[in-house]
A and B are shown apart, each in its own frame.
Chain A
């Protein structure tokens, strides 16, 4: 245990916690938009997997990580639109249709990987961007300001989303559609249009999250996300549907994961117990859900499809 409490190890653990939080943060911020408007997208993990493969493949072929992100965005938008079609237009049971999207993404990303790539080949990763001045601060600089651009973008999206949801007309529409679609509809807000927009934003961010994960790791493999998409959905509940709360949850996860990884490398957790340690995120989530469910109320129209005049 003592080898954990050294300066270098502690700093590295915090920095890697922040890095590991990024895909979760991106995906759960996206999911926040959808849920605030009343749509539960359970297919996030499937979208992330396809975004991850798309991003990986683009970088493998071109060597350009930004193009990889762009492909992730494109795939995310397409699947977000498909999800909106399923849950808004066709009014499917959201708890189940998302599982279908997940299975599709899980199978399809693996299929494409086997057909187009075959053997796992590493790709180039994001370049690091040291923030001038700030990155030289002892301790803090290394923890916070020596990351790749995607890390800053992801955390920058937190205040941006707070502004959009709480301070803009679009945000007001999102909230009203999620709380009382009948009232919003009677005021001339198109429930369907708002939900299409939020679910597509959610899909886009899930796609980016997947691409960011693959490019950050520099590889792709079957089931790369390992259920991170589902954790991201739970984080939205954990964060009580607020971007800041979602960020806190994502960071908590990042740190727990970084800690478990670090403990494993240092041999503090024996190899045979690593499966038990891997339960930690899911167990913490369940406990967190119990706490949150007592104190916060979910958007009133969550998972309820809207029909005019029904």
Chain B
């Protein structure tokens, strides 16, 4: 009984890890078919993809930079999801964070980096938090579906960005020259993200993202606030009954989620090569769809902040590699977007199966533990007794 339970547990856990990976491989297989249809060599393409993502120091840097917004967003999404709030508004929150941070940087005198950098990053945090708090409050106090309100706020954010970057925030030089490219002037050097290892392109963004993941882990599993967030996520009614402020907790979840997305936006601006905010008229032009892809990274990491770190890195590699593939076999970049969509669909569609396997593993674990206890103490409960509904555990659940 115990051995069988163990075997089941180990097998289920193992397969559960493989499910999202298999989903990505299936999406890539479809991508290969599309490449063949486009008269391109898929083998050559995928070789270029791997080289471009992980094949050199430059490639790894590009991957880490691409993974940074994914990780911020993924961690933010995880916090919201744990409170059972679906935040589809990462795109808009990134734009809002980027805009506020840029606006503050434009308005400030040339402060030294030690004051400047924290100020603008906090501005980004606040911008995203505000953009997240609105749908949170609408959900908590007016019952407005957060999926819809966040999508609509994404649309509002992109128009606001276009308006500000074409008008009030545009680089005065663009008007003088008459080129009118919708972008700000180069922001102060004090706001540049410091480079790691002194040179190259790798700035402290990835480090900040990893720190935010660790902070989110501590928040969710080591603080009363995190306990409240998860309790509301598991059962609103039970949390209400226990006297928790459910509505405020929902607003808090969306605010924290938005804040991290806003920070991602600020890091994109101050870590960019041109050190300015630019728009091509679309949200994706600024975010690279990180607001959506971060959700996939979070699911990939089993909605656990720490597992989201490697998940974001792998997913960032996939996106960077996609660009290398596109250059190597000369197919339109739109292919990468289509492939990206397929990966989202496949990962999400397989997620229910992964969770089922995980639950089966936990059940087997509980059964095994009970059996062991029963064997140790003759007066213990019978091994096949239905275990009582466990309370929300305060430990981290492994994904």
A96 — nearest CB in chain B belongs to which residue? Answer: B348
Chain A hits for B231, CB < 8 A = none
The answer on a CB contact under 8 Å between B342 and A100 is yes
Instruction: Report which of B38, B289, B351 forms a contact with A92, defined as CB distance below 8 A.
Output: B351
Instruction: Report which of B166, B282, B350 forms a contact with A90, defined as CB distance below 8 A.
Output: B350
Question: Mask for A271-310, Cβ within 8 A of B = 1, else 0?
Answer: 0110110110111011001100110001000000100000
Residue of B147, B336, B339 with most chain A CB atoms under a 10 A cut-off: B147
The answer on a CB contact under 8 Å between B148 and A103 is no
Shortest distance between the CB of B141 and any CB in chain A (Å): 9
Interface size of A in residues (CB-CB distance below 8 Å): 49
List 30 A–B pairs whose Cβ atoms lie within 8 Å, in order of A's numbering.
Answer: A46-B341, A92-B345, A92-B348, A95-B86, A95-B147, A96-B296, A99-B292, A100-B341, A100-B343, A101-B345, A104-B344, A108-B341, A110-B332, A111-B338, A223-B282, A227-B155, A230-B151, A233-B148, A273-B163, A275-B163, A275-B166, A279-B155, A279-B156, A282-B152, A286-B138, A286-B153, A290-B138, A290-B142, A293-B143, A294-B142
- The docked-state distance in angstroms from the alpha carbon of A275 to that of B334 is 25
Per DSSP, are chain B's interface residues mostly helix, strand or loop, or mixed? Answer: helix
Q: Does B108 interact with chain A (Cβ within 8 Å)?
A: no
- The docked-state distance in angstroms from the alpha carbon of A213 to that of B299 is 35
The answer on a CB contact under 8 Å between B156 and A283 is yes
Instruction: Report which of A93, A110, A272 forms a contact with B351, defined as CB distance below 8 A.
Output: A93
A-facing residues in B321-367 (Cβ within 8 Å): 331-332, 334-346, 348-353
The answer on a CB contact under 8 Å between A96 and B152 is no
Interface residues of B (CB under 8 A from A): 38, 86, 88, 138, 142-145, 147-149, 151-153, 155-156, 159-160, 162-163, 166-167, 282, 289, 292, 295-296, 299, 331-332, 334-346, 348-353
A238 — nearest CB in chain B belongs to which residue? Answer: B148
Chain B hits for A93, CB < 8 A = 86, 348, 351-352
Given contacts A86-B345, A100-B348, contact A107 B337 (CB under 8 A): yes
Chain B hits for A103, CB < 8 A = 289, 292, 337-338, 340-341, 344
Q: Does A17 interact with chain B (Cβ within 8 Å)?
A: no
Shortest distance between the CB of A31 and any CB in chain B (Å): 12
B353 — nearest CB in chain A belongs to which residue? Answer: A90
Chain B hits for A40, CB < 8 A = 147
The answer on a CB contact under 8 Å between B341 and A286 is no
Chain B hits for A95, CB < 8 A = 86, 88, 147
The answer on a CB contact under 8 Å between A42 and B147 is yes
- The docked-state distance in angstroms from the alpha carbon of A105 to that of B340 is 11
The answer on a CB contact under 8 Å between B344 and A99 is yes
Q: Does A234 interact with chain B (Cβ within 8 Å)?
A: yes
Give 18 new A-B contacts, CB below 8 A, not counting A42-B88, A100-B342: A46-B341, A86-B348, A90-B352, A96-B88, A96-B348, A99-B292, A103-B292, A107-B336, A107-B338, A108-B341, A230-B152, A234-B148, A237-B145, A237-B148, A272-B163, A286-B149, A286-B156, A290-B142
Instruction: Report which of B147, B162, B166, B345 forms a contact with A100, defined as CB distance below 8 A.
Output: B345
A290 — nearest CB in chain B belongs to which residue? Answer: B142
A233 — nearest CB in chain B belongs to which residue? Answer: B148
Shortest distance between the CB of B125 and any CB in chain A (Å): 23
Q: Does A114 interact with chain B (Cβ within 8 Å)?
A: yes
Q: Does A148 interact with chain B (Cβ within 8 Å)?
A: no
Q: Does A212 interact with chain B (Cβ within 8 Å)?
A: no
Chain A hits for B282, CB < 8 A = 223
Shortest distance between the CB of B92 and any CB in chain A (Å): 10
- The docked-state distance in angstroms from the alpha carbon of A230 to that of B32 is 30
A-B CB proximity, top 4 nearest: A107-B337, A104-B341, A100-B344, A103-B341
B165 — nearest CB in chain A belongs to which residue? Answer: A275
The answer on a CB contact under 8 Å between B143 and A294 is yes
The answer on a CB contact under 8 Å between A107 and B334 is yes
The answer on a CB contact under 8 Å between A230 and B143 is no
The answer on a CB contact under 8 Å between A110 and B159 is no
Shortest distance between the CB of B45 and any CB in chain A (Å): 14
Q: Does A262 interact with chain B (Cβ within 8 Å)?
A: no
Shortest distance between the CB of B320 and any CB in chain A (Å): 17
B-facing residues in A191-229 (Cβ within 8 Å): 222-223, 227
Residue of B148, B331, B338 with most chain A CB atoms under a 10 A cut-off: B148
